[in-house]
Chains A and B, each alone.
Chain A
Amino acid sequence: LLEAAEEGSVSVDGLTHHLPAPFVLLATQNPFGQAGTYPLAEGTLDRFSLALTIGRAGADAERDVLLGGGGRGRLPAVTAVTSPAELSRAQAAVRRVHMAPAIAEYVVRILDASRHHPRVRLGLSTRGGLALVHLAQARAVMDGREYVTPGDVQALAVAGLAHRLLLAADADLDAARQLMAEVMATVDVPRA
């Protein structure tokens, strides 16, 4: 899983199989019925870009589902809007979004602040910072911009970093998110 997540390849019996590009790894976790499952190691968790809690569907969406607007019946109606190659190009383009040095310094300060927080047993890794930068670039693209702003970093810091924090044994992801928000509140934003 580590290899797949990091290098996009799987090695079996000394033979490396490259995974098709684009490759996306999604892991889900149910809040209940976790008997028999094992928590992921910190190193594995660090490979995930984002941790989101989707929660239940909203009332409107639920109504749509009940009215039959969704479901398996609609699957055939789904058409491709892009090709894998185009998606790969888009991914590559995201990497080229301009990021000012001040923003990189900002991210470094965030990583540093997390490492000095008294309630954090293990602070953020450089990999976490890299992921945050990529996420911010992607958000800039989705917002139609060719540069990253501190707002991008702030908007994604909790989702992109909280699951990487190692807190006290009984802390859950919510506690980590809260703590990440506290960390963000102490780091000065780059300004003009």
Chain B
Amino acid sequence: VIIRARPARPGAGVVAPLVVVGCGVAFGLTAGASLVFIAVGALATAFASGVVLAVTGTARTIVVTIDAPDVGIAGEPIALVVTSVASRRVVIDVGDGDHVAARWSPPLGRHRVSVEATFARRAVHAALPVTVYCAGPFGTWWWRRRTTVTLAHPLKIGPAVVPCAAPATGGEAGAGYAPTAAGRRQEPGAFHAVRPWSDGDSISWVHWPSALRTGELLVREWEPPAQERVEIVVDRSDDPEAAERATGRAAGEVEAALRAGRGVRLAVPTNGRISAASPITARWGAAAVLAAADLPLRIPEASPAFRAPADERRGLPRALSVVSLWLAAGAVLGALGWPPVTTALALIGLPVVATLVHRAGARHPGALRAVTLAVVLGGVGRFVISFGDTGVASLGTLRDPLVELLLALATAHAASTLQRRSLRFSLGIGAALAFYAGAVRVDPAAAWWLAGWFVATLLALAAIHRSELAAVAPVDQLFPRADVRALATRSGWSVVRVVGAMVVALAVLTVVPIPAGPVQFVAPSSLPLRSPVPKPAALGARRPDGQVVVSGESVSGADDPATAAAFGYPAFEQSFDLSARGRPGHEVVMRVRAPAPDFWRGQTFERFDGRRWYVSDSEGEFVQGPVVPIGRLDGDVLNTPTDDMMQTYYIERDVPNLVFAAQRPVQLFLDAGVWVRPDGALRADTTLTAGTIYTVESRRSTVTADALRAQGSATSGPLQARWKSPALARYVQLSATTTDRTRELAHAITDPYPDVYDKVDAIERWLADNVEYDLDAPVPPAGADAVDHFLFESRRGFCEQISTALVVLLRSIGVPSREAAGYAAGQRDPVAGVWVVHGEDAHAWAEVWFPLTGWQAFDPTATVPLAGDSAGQGSLGAPIVRAIGRVAGQAAPYAIVPVAAAAAWPLFVWLARRRRARRSPAWAAQRRFERACRRAGVAVGRADSNEALASVVANRAPPVAAAAQQAGSAIDHAVFGAGDPDAAIAAVTAFEKALATRP
């Protein structure tokens, strides 16, 4: 019978994984971290493959045959001998209405076990309802399949016995009622005759008249009393409950009478009338008669769902759960940068509490519970308070309180209960922590933590499920051998399938594009070390000796290398000289979590004196954090179409107090005082040391080449007047050293084009064609204009010179522009989903003002002017595929060996078989014989001899009996005697022919 498997308990088992996965997706979407999606995907795949295994496990062959005794008594256990063939670990229920008569978990493979079953009520079972439950390797979702197993003979369950006193002699045992008279010592029956006295006769039995008459001691002899044969009639009633009480009472009476040594006759109604009373010699007999009685019987149809036993004392699942939770907590704490003491307490506290509770066993340590309750209340309180405190409600601002709450919950949970379900709950908390860690961590170590967490979680789930199965009523295995092998094979295959599914899922995940990134994710600012800049609004940097130096006020001469190194890049100072080129190193400066690449701008330069760029003299406005709104800036244009971009900067190495931001920043989240300068450059009042975290919200204008071109220029288009805005006069100022040939060149390049965008484009193209990028470009000679020297003498330069040339050329034709410095986007870390910015990504570019869209960056150094890569492109798999391609390219000559081996393997197997067949024709004959037996419908076991097989074939297909027996004995002759193998083959051939031509 094929019956579909259905979910057994679509409750917590389904909802909880969905909640956990949903939680992970939410974290991943908020933070744009691929790592979270990988973890979520792997977990979801593990759950899904578990469900598939459970469904196939219950849908596959589960053969159950039941040998039941003839008679049982309600409420008393009987032994069922059950043969089951299970391909997966299942739980089998034998039902009895709304009651489970027996539940056990058979070993894998084919087994006969003795199962204790207790039926609740009187009934005659011709067949037993059997429910098979299976939950896959992780036990999260139980599936069930129902069927009925027909018994060889009906199982009669007698009523539960109502204890009764033995019917007193001479008592009137009415219709199912207790004897009415009892107590007085009565004679056992009617007077019958007298007989000689013998030992044991009561003195009161002496019949004195006869004794006197005969002179001999004579006693009364009593006729065996009619009451000694207790006759019980069960009244038929239409009320099922009354009928049950009556039958129970009857069973009790019978038992009491039997115990008193009475003969019993039992009369119960069958087919509506009371037939002849049947003699009963044992309580089983009474049970059988009463079970089959035609009395009203009520069996409820409802059947209870399976719930795994709750009690959990085993150490392994608990230990694995703690490991999983521990790894998740470790991943989070590493990301949050908690003080080592707190971290150590949290990481040591978890296992210690779990161990204490495990040791305590059933006794709940009251003090521990009180402490953990206090911890939880504290965590909740802190969570609520911090929620009220922060102005910005987002996941990131709550991260410390959220993690504290989760950890407190996990610890308290570990302390408060011993149950298996709660272990799953704590695994769920761990999953939330792990996903959170994936969302907030930006370093590659997070991947290892999460991988460890993932493995520990799956192992813990599997261990919990195993202990769940083990806790189901143990069975008395009549024949448990070969179990170990089957178990190992089967669970091995399960593991292979689950792992395979996850590998496939991860492979699929790698080609799914990396998520676009944070929609609204404000990580709270973190300033591990405050080293205030001594001068207000100044640029400062922290030197390795701890001293904070201010740009432009060198402590030991103008070209102090230590000071220069502290700023990291010449353009991160108050002014920078075009003839000096810093050599930033390859070390990681910061990681930026952002949905798209952009220039991480540090500051802009306004004034150029022919050699040096200078920042604006205006100090701007001081705003105290942690939330720094950035008001009106120079060159702002209202009503520009924009899109918001959140960036979180994780500083890895000491940098000056420049706060980097994509143009144009509108809000900064940094717990420090910040000078907001009119060009949008942000200067904190402290240098930013390694470990600093801050978030910037930027509003980027969405532009296209056409949109820029449409804005015309000072001499063309509808916006001519705006181009000549006096507020921007300082962005068209040229240095006095600017040469005429520079101006002429500017006009020569740009005059053919009416619109500013095309003019910029033309200059960039000219630069690309006529200038070479060269880090070792010659420095301009003293006194010469650097741009003139670059454009007409050396024609070689680096990004600062190239972008300065662009700005000067533009200013020569009256286009407002300025020099910008900061970092290029860096490389995208596909796992963490962050941009990794190295020292050598320090960069300078130009910004050109447009009347409708404001300041627009142009990078003449790059071939693509507007930005680096476009947003969210690429996938996790791309670098992997590239890496594989690279490795494959190198290893191609060596790869031929395993590939050839794999290709040759089937050939090798075939050859080996053939060789063996050649060497031993008897072996070939044996194989053909077994195959023929299978064709004849006979299962070939490893323990079946050819003789046995032949005789089974003979029974099943008599026409081929002789041929089968001849073939079997011919093979045996060849193998064990000195027979001719060719004769064996001939005999097998004859057998095969007989089989093929049988009617």
| Residues of A near any B CB (own CB < 8 A) | 98-100, 102-103, 116-119, 145-155, 182, 184-192
Contacts and interface: CB of A to CB of B under 8 A. Distances in A.
Interface string B925-966: 110000000000000011111111000000000000000000
B976 A147 contact: yes
Contacts of B979: 147
Interface of B: 477-482, 920, 922-923, 925-926, 941-948, 968-969, 971-979
B935 to A, nearest CB: 18
A189 B977 contact: no
A192 B975 contact: yes
Nearest to B969: A149
B973 A188 contact: no
A192 B925 contact: yes
B975 A189 contact: no
A151 B945 contact: yes
Contact of A148 (B477, B942, B969, B976): B976
A185 B976 contact: no
27 contacts: A100-B977, A102-B975, A116-B481, A118-B480, A145-B969, A145-B973, A147-B973, A147-B977, A147-B979, A149-B973, A149-B976, A149-B977, A150-B946, A150-B947, A150-B972, A150-B976, A151-B945, A151-B948, A186-B481, A188-B943, A189-B944, A190-B975, A190-B976, A192-B923, A192-B925, A192-B926, A192-B974
B929 to A, nearest CB: 9
B980 to A, nearest CB: 13
B672 to A, nearest CB: 75
A147 B979 CA distance: 10
A150 B945 contact: yes
A100 B479 contact: no
Nearest to B480: A118
Contacts of B941: 185
Contacts of B977: 98, 100, 145-147, 149
Q: Name the 8 nearest CB pairs between A and B, nearest first.
A: A151-B947, A147-B977, A149-B972, A150-B945, A192-B922, A192-B926, A192-B923, A100-B976
A192 B978 contact: no
A186 B922 CA distance: 24
A191 to B, nearest CB: 5
Contacts of A184: 943
Nearest to A179: B479
A186 B976 contact: no
Contact of A189 (B481, B942, B969, B974): B942
A192 B971 contact: yes
B261 to A, nearest CB: 25
Contact of B943 (A119, A151, A152, A189): A189
Contacts of B481: 116-117, 186
B923 A147 contact: no
A38 to B, nearest CB: 31
Given A98-B978, A119-B478, A149-B972, 6 more contacts: A98-B976, A103-B976, A149-B973, A182-B479, A186-B482, A188-B942
Contacts of A149: 945-947, 969, 972-973, 976-977
B920 A192 contact: yes
Given A149-B969, A186-B482, A192-B926, A100 B975 contact: yes
A150 B479 CA distance: 23
Contacts of B943: 184-189
Contacts of A118: 477, 480
A187 B948 CA distance: 14
Contacts of B482: 186
A102 B946 CA distance: 15
Contacts of A182: 479
B942 A147 contact: no
A189 B944 CA distance: 6
Contacts of A146: 977-978
B942 A151 contact: no
Q: Which of A117, A118, A189 has the most CB of B within 10 A?
A: A189
Contacts of B920: 192
A163 B326 CA distance: 60
B966 to A, nearest CB: 13
A140 to B, nearest CB: 9
A155 B920 CA distance: 27
Nearest to A100: B976
Contacts of A116: 481
Contacts of A103: 976
A154 B945 contact: yes
A147 B947 CA distance: 14
A136 to B, nearest CB: 11
